[in-house]
Amino acid sequence: MSFLLVHVAPGDPLIALAGEHGDPAYYAEMRQRFGLDQSLPTQLATYAGRLAQGDLGFSYVQGRSAATVIMERVPATLLLTGTALLLAIFAALPLAALAGRRPHGARDVGISALALGFYSAPVFWIGQMAILGIALKLDLVPVQGMTAAGSDARGLARTLDIARHLALPALVLASQEVAVLIRLTRSGVLDELARDHVRTARAKGVGEFAVLVRHALPRALLPVVTVIGARVGHLAAGAAVVEIVFGWPGTGRLMFSSLQTRDTPVLLGLFLVVALFVVLANLVTDLMYAAIDPRVRLR
């Protein structure tokens, strides 16, 4: 994980994008967003004027380029969201397959109810309850931060320290994605199990487990791939809230402190970076979809 951190941080192409080509993009975003909102045209004009002078490229508070300030925080958020997404995928697939195998059976009802519960609960509440139940009562994992206070551990010790701090926030963030992925994959598995190729496989004498894992699940996963791309914006929003609950030093906490200090350039920059990530993720998943599904041809 720290290896990843080191390699993502310096010289990321996003810095160049947000710093040098940021202004026209900001313009487009602004026009599109506020052009619909006629009640605030004067503010918009002033704001666009300031933008034209390049005023927004710098953090008011820190006196540095907003892009630099943001990019310092991106690795921590990527670590959190990446871990959560992986956890969610590895937890959701077996659960969804189990649930879809015998619809309306006891397992299905239990798993579906669990998914709906996580889908409905606000992520900060799950976080707070996790802190109350797991971290404070059982004293299993640390509650706040990314490293132990005052720790100057290096190498493996530092990795372990980060992992211990990462566990709970990643699980909490994953709970939201698990819920969505279970709901989607389950209905996909249900559809696939009713299809001809599954009936053929069963008729050939393929075991139930192999039918599920080899024949139904892979095809059910096709829509899941795209949905992961579509979830990136949501994941980032969830991460922002989770970071504040757990004091994780990523972009969410930066957003929170920038809100309190009214550091608008940083907030705008954050919006742009998230929007960029969402667009990229959608692009990547669309391409992946086309690559794994021969029925989809890119025009």
Q: Which residues bind other proteins (CB under 8 A)?
A: 32-33, 36-37, 40, 43, 47, 116-117, 119-125, 128-129, 131-132, 136, 180, 183-184, 187, 223, 226-227, 230-231, 233-234, 236-237, 240-241, 244-245, 255-256, 258-259, 262, 264, 267-268, 270-271, 274-275, 278-279, 282, 296
Residue type, 122: P
Closest to other proteins by CB, 156 or 260: 260
Q: Nearest-CA neighbor of 186 among 95, 105, 114, 116?
A: 95
Least distance CB 131 / other proteins (angstroms) = 6
Cβ at position 209, least distance to other proteins in Å: 26
Query: Which is closer to other proteins, CB of 82 or CB of 247?
Result: 247
With vertex at residue 95, the alpha carbon angle to CA 93 and CA 100, rounded to the nearest 5 degrees, is 95
Rounded least distance, CB 152 to other proteins, Å: 27
Cα 140 to Cα 19, 143, 202, distances in angstroms: 42, 9, 46
Question: Any alpha helices (H) in 102-248, and if so which ranges?
Answer: 106-120, 123-130, 155-193, 196-203, 208-210, 217-230, 232-246
Q: What three-state secondary structure class fits 152?
A: coil
**H-run or E-run covering 263:** none
C-beta of 7 vs 262, nearer to other proteins: 262
Nearer Cβ to other proteins, position 62 or 282?
Answer: 282
Question: Would you say 47 or 58 has its CB closer to other proteins?
Answer: 47
Q: Closest distance between other proteins and the C-beta of residue 184, in Å?
A: 6
- From the CB of 85, what's the least distance to other proteins, in Å? 13
Cα gap 162→152, rounded to integer Å: 12
Under 8 Å between Cβ of 97 and 212: yes
